[in-house]
Amino acid sequence: MDPKRLQELSDDELDAYIRTRLRIAGVDLGVLPEDDADAPADQTRILAGARRFLRSTPPAILGFEMDEQEVAPVMYPAALAPRMDVEGGR
């Protein structure tokens, strides 16, 4: 699916996705008031922020194409630096 079409998803569809994703992670928004502008956070505003995020950020990132040979992440030796002969290491 073209990432741009994510913006065509309805609020209800996105809310269902967000709530499902949070349930998979074991996170419960239900403890928040449903709609209370005086509360530090409520479900209405948290879902609105999450929908705005989903409509904007994943499509922007997925729409930026990179060659698979470009700037590959490298695992070593940073994780080993404390055990190596570098300044501050062993």
Q: Does 31 help bind another protein (rule: CB under 8 A)?
A: yes
Whichever of 8 and 80 has its CB closer to another protein, that residue is: 80
Query: Is the CB of residue 54 less than 8 Å from the CB of residue 14?
Result: yes
Q: Does 61 help bind another protein (rule: CB under 8 A)?
A: yes
Within 13 Å, how many C-alpha atoms sit on residue 22's CB side?
15
Distance between CA atoms of 12 and 34, rounded to whole angstroms?
15
Q: Does 74 help bind another protein (rule: CB under 8 A)?
A: yes
| Torsion on CA atoms 40, 44, 45, 50, rounded to nearest 10 | 130
Chain residues that interact with another protein, rule: CB under 8 A: 18, 21-22, 25-29, 31-32, 40-41, 45-46, 48-50, 53-54, 56-58, 60-62, 64, 66, 70-79, 81-82, 84, 86-89
